[in-house]
Chains A and B, each alone.
Chain A
Amino acid sequence: MKTSKLSFGLFVAPCLIAFLLVVIIPTFSGILMSFTDWNGIDANPNFVGLTNYVKAFTDDMVTTKFLTVEFQMPRFINVFLFTAEFAIVSVILINAIGFGLALLVTRGLKGSNILRSVFFIPNLIGGLILGFLWQFIFTKVFNHIGDTYGIEFLKGWLSTTGTGFWGLVIVLSWQMSGYMMIIYIAAIQNIPSSLFEAADLDGANFILKLKNIIVPLVAQASTVGLFLTLSNAFKLFDQNLALTNGGPYLSTQMLALNIYRTAFVMQDFGQGQAKAVIFLIAVSAITLTQMSISKKKEVEF
C-alpha cells in the first residue's frame, strides 16, 4: 500500500519528536557533558578532556560538603563491583525461583490460578514502597524474632554490608520472581503437547521430561527473562534508595544511586555524566553479550 510522505510524517512525528528530544539528544549531549566540569548551574562549563573518566576509576573515597552537611561518596570501582555482584546473584536466584514457581503452577493442581496471582502481586507495587516495607521487616520484624528466639543471625539486618547485600537481593527476588514465573509459564505452555505424549508413551517420569523436554525448550524464553532481570538488577534505584540508602558506610550504594548523588549532591554534573556514560556502555555491553550467548543456545523445534 502507498503512504504519502506527508502522512508518514504526520503519523510518526509525535513519537519521534518526543523520542528525539527525550532520548536521542540527551544521549549525545550527555556524552559531550561528560568531558566538561559542569556543575549544573554555570553557563559556560570548561572542557576537561578525559579527566572525569580518569577520576571515576582512580578517586578514593570522596568527602564533599552540601549546604552544611558533609557527604561521603564511595569509590566508583567499589560501586561498580557491588552492583555487578548484586546483579549476578539476583539474576540467578530470580530466574531459578521463577522457573520453579512456573513448574509448580503448570502441573494441574487445584488453585493454581490463585497461586499465580499471589506470586505475581509484589510486581505491581513500586520499588520505593517495597523498599520501605522491607526496611520494616528487616529492621523490626527480624530483630523481634531474633530477640524472642535468641537467633543472633537475624539481628541488626541492614546494618552490615553483608546483610545489606542480601536484603537487596531478597527484595528484588521477592518482587521479580513472579514476573519471571509468568514468562516461564508462557514458555512451558508453548511446548507442543505431542512431545509430552510421546514421553508418556515411553514411560518417562517427570524428572526425565524436565531434563529432556522442558529445560531445553524453555531456554529459548529465558533469553527474555535473563535480559529483563539483568538490566533491572543493574539499573536498580528505588529499592536501593528506600531499603539501605546506600548504607551502612556507603557499602551498598549501587550505580544508579551513585550517579544521582554525584550530580545532585556533589553538584558535579560532568563527573556524574562520565559515570553515566560508563554505565551506559556497561549495560549495553553486558545485555548484548548475554543476548547473543542466549540466542546461540536456543533450540528450534
Chain B
Amino acid sequence: MESKKNKIILSIVGVLLALLFLSPFYLVVVNSFKTMKGIFINTNALPFGEYFVLSNYPIAFERLDFLMAIKNSLTITIVSTVFIVLFSSMAAWVLVRTKTWYSNFIFMLFAAAMLIPFQSVMLPLVSLMGKLNFLNPPGLIFMYVGFGSSLSIILYHGFIKSVPLELEEAAVIDGCNQFQIYSIVVFPLLKPITVTVTILNVMWIWNDFLLPQLTINKPEWATIPLKMFFFFGQYSKQWHFALAGLLITMLPVIIFYFFAQKQIVKGVMAGSIK
C-alpha cells in the first residue's frame, strides 16, 4: 500500500506528465483558430479578439478534399483488414492443424519475413507491380495483404494452438466439410485474437504513407496521409491553414479511440506478448 503522501506526489507527477504529453495537441488546437498574424504574435495564448477566426477550417477541409480522402482511406483500410483477417486466420488454422514439413516451412517463412524492412523490397516491388499493371487501390490492397499476413498469421497461429480440437472433431462427425468447420466452428472461436489482429492492421494501414505514395497514381484515389503530404507542401508557410488541416486529419482517429479504447489497449497488449 502506498502512503497518502506518496500517492499525492505521484498523482501530481502523473498530471504534469499528462499535460506535457497533451501540450502539442493544445498548441495545434489553439493556433488553428488564429489568423496568421495571431500565430506570429503569440503561439501559446488562446485565440482572442481580431486574431480569432473560424475560417481556417472550411478552407482546409475543402483544399484537403477531406470527404474524398476519408472515403478512400476508409475503403482501403476496411477492405485490406477484412481480407487480412479472413485469409490469415484461414492460413494459420490449416498450418496449425496440418503437421507436415511444408506446413512448418511455410510458417517459418512467414515468421522470418518479419525481419525484412519495407524499404528493402520497395524498389523491386513497385517495378514488379507496375509491370503487372496492378497499382492503385486493388494493387495496394493486395500488397497490404502480403505485408500484413506475417504478423497476423503469427498471432493467429499462437492462439489456435491453444484451441482444443474436440469441437472440430465433433463437427467432422456431424459431416461438416473443411469450409463449414472453419466458418461455423473455428472462426467464431478466434474472436479475441481477431480483435487484436484487426486493431494492429487498422492502425498501420490507416496511417501508412509510403506505400500509397508509391502505388496510387490517380489523385482521386489519394488517402488521408497522401493528401496531407501535398496539402502541407502547399501551405507550409501558412501555418493557420496547415494546422487546421492537421487537426482535421487527426480527428477521425481520436474519435475512434474514444469508442474503442478498451479494445485498442487490449489488442496492443495481446499483440506484444507474442
Which residues of A come within 8 Å of B, CB atoms?
1, 3-4, 7-8, 11-12, 14-16, 18-27, 29-30, 33, 40, 101, 104-105, 107-112, 114-129, 132-134, 136-137, 140-141, 144-145, 174, 178-179, 182-183, 185-186, 221, 224-225, 228, 231, 234-235, 237-238, 242, 255-256, 259-260, 263, 269, 272-273, 276-277, 279-280, 283-284, 287-288
Contacts and interface: CB of A to CB of B under 8 A. Distances in A.
B97 interface: yes
Contacts of A14: 83, 87, 90-91, 145
A281 to B, nearest CB: 9
Given A11-B93, A136-B28, A238-B210, 17 more contacts: A18-B146, A19-B113, A22-B143, A27-B124, A101-B17, A109-B11, A112-B14, A117-B261, A119-B17, A127-B209, A136-B27, A140-B43, A141-B44, A144-B44, A237-B209, A276-B120, A279-B117
Interface centre among A16, A111, A112, A242 (most CB of B within 10 A): A16
Interface string B143-167: 1011101100100000000000100
B22 A118 contact: yes
Contact of A16 (B31, B91, B207, B254): B91
B147 A22 contact: yes
Given A3-B178, A15-B149, A23 B11 contact: no
Contacts of A288: 115
Interface string B24-41: 110110010000000100
B203 interface: yes
A186 B117 contact: no
A186 B253 contact: no
Contacts of A179: 268
Interface residues of B, number: 90
Interface in B1-22: 2, 7, 10-11, 13-14, 17-18, 21-22
B133 interface: no
A21 B128 contact: yes
Contacts of B257: 117, 121, 124
A136 B243 contact: yes
Contacts of A144: 42-44
Contact of B147 (A23, A25, A109, A126): A23
Interface in B113-140: 113, 115-125, 127-128
16 contacts: A8-B98, A11-B90, A19-B150, A22-B121, A22-B146, A22-B147, A23-B147, A25-B128, A26-B125, A144-B44, A182-B272, A235-B117, A259-B122, A279-B117, A279-B119, A283-B120
B60 interface: no
A277 B120 contact: yes
Given A259-B119, A287-B115, A3 B147 contact: no
B155 to A, nearest CB: 13
A147 B229 CA distance: 30
B94 interface: yes
Interface centre among B120, B149, B177 (most CB of A within 10 A): B120
B189 interface: no
Contacts of A256: 117, 119
